Amino acid sequence: MKKSHIALIIVIAILIGAMVTAINDSSSYADFSEAFSEPSGEFHVVGKLNRDRQMIYDPVSNPDEFIFYMTDIKNEEKKVVLHKSKPQDFERSEQIVLIGSAQGDEFHANDILMKCPSKYQDGEITAKDQSQI
Amino acid sequence: MTYSGEHLLIGQLGNTFTILAFAFSFLSMVAYFLADLKKDDQYLRIGRIAYLAHSISVIGMVATLFAMIFNQYFEYHYVWQHSNTEMPMKYIFSCFWEGIEGSFMIWTFWHVILGLILFKSVKSWEAPVMSVISAVQFFMLTMLLGVYVFDYKFGSNPFIMLLREHPDFLGLPLFNNPDYTEVIDGRGLNPLLQNYWMVIHPPFVLFGYATAIVPFAYAIAGLLRGKFIEWVRPALPWTFFGIGVLGIGVLMGGAWAYESLSFGGFWAWDPVENASLVPWLTMVGAGHLMLIQRKKGVSVFSLFLMVTITFCLVQYASFLTKSGVLGETSVHSFTDLGMTAQLAISLLFFIGLSIFLIVKNFKKFPKQDREESSTSREFWMFVSALVLLMSAFIISFSTSFPVINQIFGTNLATSGERIDYYNQWLTPFAIIVSFLVAIGQFLSYTKTDMPRFWKRLSISLGLSVIVTVTMSYSMSIYNPIYVVMLLSTSLAAFANLDYWARILKGKIKGAGPSIAHFGFGLLLLGILVSTSQSTVISSNSSLYDISVLGDDFDNNENILLMLDDTLIMGDFLVAYRGKRSEDNFIHYQVDYMTMNEKGVLELDFSLYPFLQLNPRMGNVAEPYTKHYAHKDIYTHISYAELEDKDAKPTSEEHSIVIGDTIFTRTSFMVFDSLDRNPQSSFKGLSENDLAIGAHFTLFDVDTKAHHLEPLFVLKDRQYSMTVPDSLSELGIKIGFEGIDPEKENFKFRVVEDQPKFNDFIVMKAIVFPGINILWLGCLIMGLGTFFSVIQRIRRN
C-alpha cells in the first residue's frame, strides 16, 4: 500500500469525523414550542417583533439587556431577553432570528439576526421633490 | 401611452450587445470545439472571430450600463434600484456591481480580459482552451438574457427591465404622467456599500474568481486531448497569479469588514466570506500539486480533481450568494432574483463535465511506478494540498447548511458562537499547514539529507522557540494549542526568511516562494495574536453586574457614556464629548485619556465613530479605529437615541417644619423661615389677599446659595392659591401647597426636571493587538506570489 493511499484513508476518516461532529455541534431552527420543550438546547427561532407590546431598553441600568416580545411563525408569543444592546433600527425589522435558549417563561437570546426592509416597499417610488408625485 | 424623456435607445443598444455576446459565445464555443475535434483551421478562424466579437460585445455591455448609471436614467429598474441623485459619484462603481446583473457583467468582463491575454499566449492549446472559456461565458450570459422560454424567465437583463414594466410597479398612477422621468429619483445604494473598500473589493474578488477559469480551461483541454501532463506548464503561472489576486481580494473583504462593519473583527465566518476563502484554499492546493507534477510527473488524478474542484467552488460561491438560498444567514448575499434553478443547472453542468471527463480518462492517467520517500518534498507538498482540501471541505460543509436544509428538509443551523466554532475547527489545520510551510523548502525533491535538513533548520527553530516563549509569557498565551500555533507560525516566518537570506543569499531571483511563505507565516501569526488577544475593553467598568444572570451571559460588552462623564475603560479614561451631524452622518466624539504622573488627565486621542442614517434601508453604525503600530483600538456605537425624548420631571410632596431640609437630585434646600409679609415680585396680589412666604436657601452642587420664596395665598381670604418660585438653571420649582395648623407643618411640592436622556451613547471598544502583522503578512504574501509568477513566466 502506498503512502498516498494511507494519507487518503486518514483524510476520509477525518472528514467523516468532522461531518458528524459538525452536525452534533450545530444548533437547529425551531419554533418557540420546540425551544421551550428543551430548555437546555440552543435554537434559532424565526419570528416577528410584536410592535404592540412594550420594548424595554434601559441603557443606564444595563446597556446589555433589551427586552421585547416576539411572535414565532406559529403565532406563539414569548418574552425575549436579548443580552446585547438594542440593535439599531430594531423597530423596522421585518423578520428576526433569535439565537439562544429558553429559560423559564422567557427566551434568552445571545445573538440576533434581523432582516430589515433592504428591499424597497412594493410600489414605492421616491421623487426628487416630494410635491411632484 | 407615449412617454417623453425615456432613453430607450441606450437600453436597446445594451440589449443588442447582450444578445450578440450570448450568440457569439455559443458560436465561439462550437467553432473552437470543432476546430480541435477536426483539426480544421477554418473552424479555428471562425472561433477567433466569434471570440473577438464576443469580447467587444461584453465590453460594450459594461460601457452601456456604466453610461446608464452615470447619466442617472432612473427609468431603468437597475439604475433606479442601485443609485440615486444624492449619491456621490465616487460610488458609481459600487452601484454597478451591487446587483446580480452588474456583478455577473464584471465577472464576464474579467473572463473576456483573461481570454484576450490567453488568445496571444495559448498557441497550440488555443482551440480547446478557448472553447471552454466560451462555454463558461455562454452559461454566464444566460443569466443576463432576461427572456422567457415557456414561462420560465432566463436571467435578468438590466437593459430591458424598465421601472414602469417591473411587476412591483405595474399600474402605478405615477406612470400616467408622460413626463414621469422628470420627477423620479433612484432608490439609492445600500449604505454599507458606500465605502471606499466597496469600490475596489468586489471587482478584485471577482477578478480572483475569474482567474480560476484559466487552469480549469487548461485542465479540461488536457482531458479532452488526452494529454494529461503537458497542459500544466502554461497553466501554472496563471494559477499562482489567481492565488495572489484572490488572496488579496479575500483579505480586502476582511479589511472592509474591519474598517466599516460593526461586528468587531476582520473575519466573521459569514457564508459569503467562506465562499470566497474556500476556492482560494483549493487553488493554493492545485498550484502546489502543479509544482509536484512539473518536477516529478506524478499526482495526475489529484491535480485534475483539485483544479476542477476549485472552479466548481467558485461557481458554488456564486450560487450561494446569488440564489438567495442563504437567506437570513448572511449579511451580504444578494436579494433573490428567482434564478436559483438556472444557477444550479450551470453549477451542475460544470461539476458533471469535470466528473465525466475525469472518470472517462481515469484508466489512461499515467501511473506512478515508484513509491515516494517520506522525506521528499513532493510527499509533504502533496500532504499539504490534502490538508488544504480538507479545511476547504470542513468550511464548505458548515457553510452549506442552508443548502442541505433545502435539499433534505432538515433544520440545521450553525451554532450561535459561529466564530468560535470555525476558529476551533480550523486551528489544527492552520498549525499543520504552517509547519509544512516552514519545512517545505528545506526538503529536497525525491529524498532529503536529513542531518543537513536539521542543521539548516536549527537556527529558525531556535529563534521561533525564543519568540514563542517570550510572546506567550508577555501576552499570557497559555492555551497549549495557541502556544503550538505560535511556534508553528513563527517557525514558518523565520524558516522562510532564513532560507531566503542564507540559501538564496538574499537574491530576488527565485525568492518568490520564500517571500510568499514568509508572508503566509506572518499572516497566520497576525490572525492568532489579534484574534486570541483581542479584548473588549468596554466591559470593564460596567455599571451593572450581568453575571447574576448566570454564567451563560457574559457578553457584557457595552459601556454607557453620558455626555461629558468620564469612565474608566481598560487602560483609558473615556468621555463622550458630543455629536455632530453632517449630511446623513452623525459623528460622535469619544475622547480617550490617560492620567499622567502628576495625576492630571491628558487627552491621548479622540475617536469619531459614526452612524450613517438611511431612512429607507436602515441606519448603519460604522466604527472608528485608532491605529498604532502594535495594536488598534476599535470603537463603535452600539446604540444611541436619535430622537429627543422629553424626560418627565419628577414631582414630590414634602411635609416639613421650619429648619428641615429637602434633598433633590442636584441640590438641597433649607426651609429657613416663614414670612407673613412677603416682598414677592408677584403682581397678582391685592389688599384683600392673605399671603405667606417661605424662605428657602438652596445650595447647588457647587454649594453656591440661592434664595427661593414660594407663596401660599388665600385669595380674598377664601380660596387657597399657590405662587411657586423656581430656579431655571437647575430646573427646580417649589410650590407652597398648604399649612397644617394641628401638626404645625407645611406642605411643599418640589418639581424637578430630569436631565435629557438622549445625550448618551452605548459603545463597544475592542483592542486588537498585532493586527498589523496580519496586514503586513498579506501584503508580503501577495508580493512573493507575484514575484514567483513573473519568474515562472520568464522561465516558460
What does the pLDDT look like over B75-89, one tens digit per residue? 899 999 888 888 888
Residues B182 and B95 in one domain: yes
In a domain, A131, yes or no: no
In a domain, B39, yes or no: yes
* H or E stretch at B258: helix B232-260
In a domain, A56, yes or no: yes
* H or E stretch at B535: strand B535-536
For A25, the closest chain B residue by CA position comes to B415
Cβ neighbours of residue B667 closer than 8 Å, sequence gap 6 or more: B698, B699, B700, B701, B730, B732
Residue B49 Cα distances to B15, B26, B116, B551, B696, angstroms: 21, 12, 12, 69, 99
Q: A13: distance to nearest CA of chain B, Å?
A: 11
Residues 273-302 of B with CB under 8 A from A: 299
Q: How many domains does chain A have?
A: 1
- Say whether residue A84 is in contact with chain B using an 8 A CB cutoff: yes
Domain that holds residue B629: 556-643
Round to whole Å and give the CA distance between B314 and B208: 9
Burial (CB < 10 A; 0-12, 13-18, 19+), residue B505, is exposed
| Cross-chain CB nearest to A88 (options B187, B559, B639) | B639
In a domain, B258, yes or no: no
- Say whether residue A105 is in contact with chain B using an 8 A CB cutoff: no
Q: How many domains does chain B have?
A: 3
The pLDDT, as a whole number, for residue B476 is 84
Bridge partners (DSSP) listed for residue A102: A107
DSSP secondary structure string, B619-652?
Answer: -EEE-EEEE-SSEEEEEEEEEE--S--PPPPEEE
Contacts of B375 in chain A (CB under 8 A): none
In a domain, A132, yes or no: no
Residues B730-773 have pLDDT tens digits of 788 899 888 887 777 888 999 887 765 557 888 889 999 989 99
Taking the CA of residue B689 as centre, how many other CA atoms within 13 Å lie in the half-sphere pointing to its CB?
A: 20
Residues B617 and B676 in one domain: no
The set of cell numbers assigned to B371 is 513509491
For B381, the closest chain A residue by CA position comes to A4
* CATH classification at residue A79: 2.40.50.140
Residues B36 and B158 in one domain: yes
Question: How would you classify the pairing of strands B732-740 and B725-727?
Answer: antiparallel
Percentages helix, strand, coil for chain B (3-state, rounded to 5) are: 55, 20, 30
Residues B164 and B55 in one domain: yes
The pLDDT, as a whole number, for residue B549 is 41
Residues 42-71 of A with CB under 8 A from B: 42, 44, 46, 57, 59-65
| Cross-chain CB nearest to B560 (options A42, A60, A126) | A60
Q: Do B500 and B543 touch, CB atoms closer than 8 A? A: no
Round to whole Å and give the CA distance between B784 and B796: 18
Least confident of B100-109, B413-422, B584-593, B742-751: B413-422
Bridge partners (DSSP) listed for residue A28: A43, B412
Round to whole Å and give the CA distance between B24 and B243: 30
In a domain, B518, yes or no: no
Q: Supply the Cα-derived Rg of chain A in whole angstroms.
A: 22
Round to whole Å and give the CA distance between B591 and B536: 17
Residues B727 and B613 in one domain: no
The pLDDT, as a whole number, for residue B653 is 87
- Say whether residue A1 is in contact with chain B using an 8 A CB cutoff: no
Contacts of B84 in chain A (CB under 8 A): 126
Confidence (pTM) = 0.83
Whether the per-residue pLDDT at B231 is higher than 60: the answer is: yes
Share of chain B above pLDDT 90, in %: 43
In a domain, A67, yes or no: yes
Of residues B110 and A130, the one with the higher pLDDT is: B110
Of the candidates B576, B643, B538, the residue with the CA atom closest to the CA atom of residue B262 = B538
Q: B373: distance to nearest CA of chain A, Å?
A: 9
CB contact under 8 Å between B411 and A28, yes or no, is yes
In a domain, B694, yes or no: yes
In a domain, B62, yes or no: yes
Contacts of B555 in chain A (CB under 8 A): 64, 83-84, 110
- Say whether residue A122 is in contact with chain B using an 8 A CB cutoff: yes
Contacts of B764 in chain A (CB under 8 A): 85
Three-state DSSP state, B351: helix
Whether the per-residue pLDDT at B334 is higher than 70: the answer is: no
Confidence of residue A39 (pLDDT cuts 50, 70, 90): confident
| Cross-chain CB nearest to A119 (options B183, B335, B372) | B335
Q: B191: distance to nearest CA of chain A, Å?
A: 10
Residues 588-647 of B with CB under 8 A from A: 611, 616-621, 638-639
In a domain, A7, yes or no: no
The pLDDT, as a whole number, for residue B548 is 43
- Say whether residue A78 is in contact with chain B using an 8 A CB cutoff: no
Domain C-terminal end among B752, B768, B791 = B752
Cα Dmax for chain B: 125
Let me know how many helices (H) and strands (E) chain B has, helices first. Answer: 19, 24
Of the candidates B265, B444, B343, the residue with the CA atom closest to the CA atom of residue B104 = B343
CB contact under 8 Å between B386 and A8, yes or no, is yes
The pLDDT, as a whole number, for residue B498 is 93
In a domain, A92, yes or no: yes
In a domain, B633, yes or no: yes
The pLDDT, as a whole number, for residue A127 is 59
Domain C-terminal end among B643, B673, B696 = B643
In a domain, B634, yes or no: yes
Confidence of residue B32 (pLDDT cuts 50, 70, 90): very high
Percentages helix, strand, coil for chain A (3-state, rounded to 5) are: 25, 35, 40
The pLDDT of B371-394, averaged and rounded, is: 88
Residues B134 and B71 in one domain: yes
Residues B596 and B671 in one domain: no
- Say whether residue B479 is in contact with chain A using an 8 A CB cutoff: no
Residue B641 Cα distances to A73, B562, B707, B761, angstroms: 30, 12, 36, 8
For B86, the closest chain A residue by CA position comes to A128
Residues B605 and B702 in one domain: no
Q: B209: distance to nearest CA of chain A, Å?
A: 26
Q: A129: distance to nearest CA of chain B, Å?
A: 7
Test the B interface: residue of A34, A45, A88 with most B CBs within 10 Å: A88
Round to whole Å and give the CA distance between B201 and B206: 9
CB contact under 8 Å between B386 and A97, yes or no, is no
The pLDDT, as a whole number, for residue B647 is 63
The pLDDT, as a whole number, for residue B354 is 96
| Cross-chain CB nearest to A86 (options B553, B617, B639) | B639
Residues B30 and B87 in one domain: yes
Of the candidates B776, B522, B518, the residue with the CA atom closest to the CA atom of residue B627 = B776
Residues B676 and B606 in one domain: no
Q: Do B695 and B675 touch, CB atoms closer than 8 A? A: yes
| Cross-chain CB nearest to A3 (options B81, B168, B372) | B372
Q: Do B278 and B395 touch, CB atoms closer than 8 A? A: yes
In a domain, A108, yes or no: yes
In a domain, A37, yes or no: yes
Query: Under the phi-then-psi rule, with left for phi > 0, alpha for psi from -120 to 50, and beta for the rest, what region is B436?
Result: alpha
Contacts of B414 in chain A (CB under 8 A): 26-27
The pLDDT, as a whole number, for residue B554 is 46
Domain that holds residue A34: 28-115
Round to whole Å and give the CA distance between B101 and B80: 14
Residues B35 and B118 in one domain: yes
Backbone φ and ψ of B555, nearest 5°? -80, 55
Q: How many CB pairs under 8 A join A and B?
A: 169
Of residues A25 and B781, the one with the higher pLDDT is: B781
Whether the per-residue pLDDT at B488 is higher than 60: the answer is: yes
Residues B618-630 have pLDDT tens digits of 778 889 999 998 8
Round to whole Å and give the CA distance between B768 and B530: 5
Confidence of residue B466 (pLDDT cuts 50, 70, 90): very high
Residues B679-700 have pLDDT tens digits of 766 666 777 778 888 899 998 8
Residues 46-75 of B with CB under 8 A from A: none
- Say whether residue B473 is in contact with chain A using an 8 A CB cutoff: no
DSSP secondary structure string, B578-620?
Answer: EEEEETTEEEEEEEEEEE-TTS-EEEEEEE--EEE--TTT--E
Contacts of B542 in chain A (CB under 8 A): 63-64
Residues B179-217 have pLDDT tens digits of 888 888 888 887 778 888 888 899 999 999 999 999 999
Residues B18 and B109 in one domain: yes
Of residues B522 and B192, the one with the higher pLDDT is: B522
Three-state DSSP state, B246: helix
SS (H, E, C) B105-126: HHHHHHHHHHHHHHHHHCHHHH
Q: A111: distance to nearest CA of chain B, Å?
A: 7
Round to whole Å and give the CA distance between B332 and B192: 9
- Say whether residue A108 is in contact with chain B using an 8 A CB cutoff: yes
Domain C-terminal end among B153, B172, B189 = B189
